[in-house]
């Protein structure tokens, strides 16, 4: 069953690939193994980084030998066994203005780097995924929740994996050549992952819209960032809600006055229950946010 591959990242990193392809089992093992490693508070371990289908540990080899670290990780993985993967996490609603003017302006500037210069990113993504128009595509992107399967690239950027059967998952290639610019808070897509760009900068993901809600702020000006400057954690569940320009402006003003409350609720997720009812279980998760 296990296809775990341990490989060195120089003398200070151990990189552990749980699966070569993306799947929720690998993602859950990444979350659960790294949580258990963190709980051991092992001397010499300096960074524990879960990712989509792999994880990485940075350590001080003067304190902890890589062979000892690998043995500990192998023991943790064996202990996990095949038991149901359960996660105490939270579900968050992110409002999104799809097909917004800012990503539109940006994508027009970088058309020569795109595989289909005559379409917008949304039109291209809708077509290659078999949707008749961008409205149907936006519905598919916003209807079901997503797992935050990794946080990174730049500070606070969530990678998200859709909670649907693999056959229904949206897949979109990245730009042929990365852009040098992406608006802050762009909702993007590359491979089988959605993301939210936490800062303005370079990027290669297709651009679908923007959220008015900040997800990274070193000055922590909003209450949903008061605990820490980065909002998302691996394992968070995200529901996108399409909004119009009017609501976008209302939320943006509320954010600026720190009067916006990001809808968030605690939730328990069971991988076994999800896999037994992939079409129905996500709605149960969303009850935590919206009630019955």
Contact residues toward other proteins (CB under 8 A) are 7-13, 15, 17, 19-23, 34, 46-56, 58, 61-62, 66, 150-157, 159, 166, 171, 173-174, 190-193, 198-199, 201, 216, 218, 229-230, 232-234
The greatest distance separating any two alpha carbons of the chain, rounded to the nearest whole angstrom, comes to 59
* Complex with other proteins: residue 218 or 280, whichever CB lies closer: 218
Cβ at position 134, least distance to other proteins in Å: 23
* Complex with other proteins: residue 11 or 84, whichever CB lies closer: 11
CB atoms within 10 A of CB 130: 9
Cβ at position 50, least distance to other proteins in Å: 7
* Complex with other proteins: residue 56 or 104, whichever CB lies closer: 56
Q: Answer whether 151's CB lies under 8 Å from 139's CB.
A: no
Cβ at position 256, least distance to other proteins in Å: 18
Cβ at position 187, least distance to other proteins in Å: 16
C-alpha–C-alpha distance, residues 112 and 15, integer Å = 36
* Complex with other proteins: residue 18 or 243, whichever CB lies closer: 18
Distances (CA, A) of 256 to 17, 187, 221: 41, 20, 9
* Complex with other proteins: residue 47 or 287, whichever CB lies closer: 47
Q: How far apart, in Å, do the first and last CA atoms of the chain sit?
A: 38
The two tokens of residue 117 are 């210069």
Cβ at position 254, least distance to other proteins in Å: 23
* Complex with other proteins: residue 97 or 160, whichever CB lies closer: 160
Cβ at position 5, least distance to other proteins in Å: 10
Neighbouring residues of 136: CB distance < 8 A, sequence distance ≥ 6: 126
């Amino acid at each position: 069953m296990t296809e775990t591959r341990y490989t060195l990242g120089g003398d200070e990193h151990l990189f552990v690939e749980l699966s070569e392809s993306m799947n929720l089992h690998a993602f859950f093992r990444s979350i659960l193994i790294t949580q258990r490693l963190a709980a051991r508070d092992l001397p010499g371990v300096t960074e524990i980084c879960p990712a989509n289908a792999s994880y990485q540990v940075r350590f001080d080899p003067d304190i902890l030998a890589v062979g000892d670290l690998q043995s500990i990780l192998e023991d943790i993985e064996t202990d996990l066994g095949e038991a149901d993967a359960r996660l105490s996490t939270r579900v968050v609603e992110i409002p999104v203005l799809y097909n917004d003017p800012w990503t539109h302006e940006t994508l027009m500037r970088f058309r020569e780097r795109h595989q289909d210069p005559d379409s917008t990113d949304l039109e291209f993504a809708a077509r290659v995924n078999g949707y008749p128009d961008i409205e149907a595509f936006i519905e598919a992107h916003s209807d079901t929740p997503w797992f935050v399967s990794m946080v990174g690239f730049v500070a606070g950027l969530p990678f998200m994996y859709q909670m649907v059967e693999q056959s229904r998952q949206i897949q979109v290639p990245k730009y042929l050549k990365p852009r040098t610019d992406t608006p802050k808070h762009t909702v993007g897509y590359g491979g089988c992952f959605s993301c939210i760009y936490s800062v303005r900068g370079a990027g290669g993901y297709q651009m679908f819209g923007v959220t008015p809600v900040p997800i990274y702020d070193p000055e922590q000006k909003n209450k949903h960032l008061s605990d820490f400057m980065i909002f998302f954690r691996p394992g968070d569940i995200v529901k996108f809600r399409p909004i119009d320009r009017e609501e976008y402006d209302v939320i943006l003003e509320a954010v600026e006055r720190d009067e916006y409350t990001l809808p968030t609720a605690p939730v328990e997720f069971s991988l076994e229950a999800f896999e037994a009812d992939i079409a129905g279980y996500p709605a149960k998760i969303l009850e935590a946010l919206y009630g019955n």
